[in-house]
Structure 1
Amino acid sequence: MSYGHVKSGDRINLQTLREELEVDTTYALVKTDKMEVIRMALHKGKVVDRHTVDSEISVLCLDGEILFHIDSTAETLTKDDWLYLKEGQPFSYSVKEDTILLVTIVFGERESN
């Protein structure tokens, strides 16, 4: 589930967010024409099958442990580990411990109609 966005200049704690939100909530922090930043809380055991995103992505593990399968390699992320995925790069993941991620998606140039 995703909630509203923070405003420019808002200060938040990425571990606890705001008192009125549950710690295990996925929260869209910012979305603009150029990027989206999401704080994702994932429960142990969650598995996401192989897929791609048509944008560059960075993933910062704030807490927990998650195993990413990227192309033919596997990378375990734990607290303070960072991962970059190029546009269209196939990946999947499985959550080994309850995990909090900060995901940044950078949109490429958009075609105008």
Structure 2
Amino acid sequence: MALPHAAPAQPIDVAPLGAALHGTLSSALFKSQGLEVMRLVLPAGKTQPPHKVEGEITVHCIEGELELSVLRDGAEQRQRLRAGQLCYLEGGVVHAVTGIVDASALVTIVLKR
């Protein structure tokens, strides 16, 4: 069964979840031919394991605090993202995301054809 996605021109609520964060799962918000947007929910201590995607991505921390770990040329770089901060990554970069404080983020992926 396919996940429901927003239709073109349909408003999507991406406000902080607040107290509802603990009962909310990560979800895809929409996917088109060239773009995918997801809400990533990471409780403190939970990690999205190292992975990569072909297209460029952004990670916009909506609430809480995240640690973004990036592997470049065999060296790991770590960045903290707090609510309101956004980070851009080139396509093909191995990265992981960990919740430092219960957090949610908007993740945008440019899909390569």
TM-score, normalised on structure 2?
Answer: 0.81
Count of matched residue pairs: 104
Please name the residue that 2:77 is paired with: 73
- Which structure 1 residue ranges, 4+ long, deviate > 3 Å from structure 2? none
Please name the residue that 2:8 is paired with: 8
Residues 27-78 of structure 1: CA distance to partner in whole angstroms, max 9, x if unpaired? 2111011010111111111123322111111110000111111122110001
- 1:55-70 → structure 2 map (5 Å cutoff): 55-70=55-70
Percent sequence identity over aligned pairs: 30
Larger helix fraction of residues: 2
TM-score, normalised on structure 1?
Answer: 0.81
Specify which structure has the bigger relative contact order, considering alpha-carbon pairs within 8 angstroms and separated by 6 or more residues. 2
RMSD of equivalent CA atoms: 2.1
Q: Unpaired segments of 5 or more residues in structure 1? A: none
Residues 55-112 of structure 1: CA distance to partner in whole angstroms, max 9, x if unpaired? 111110000111111122110001011011111111122211111110000012x2xx
Matches of 1:91 and 1:6, distance apart in 2? 27
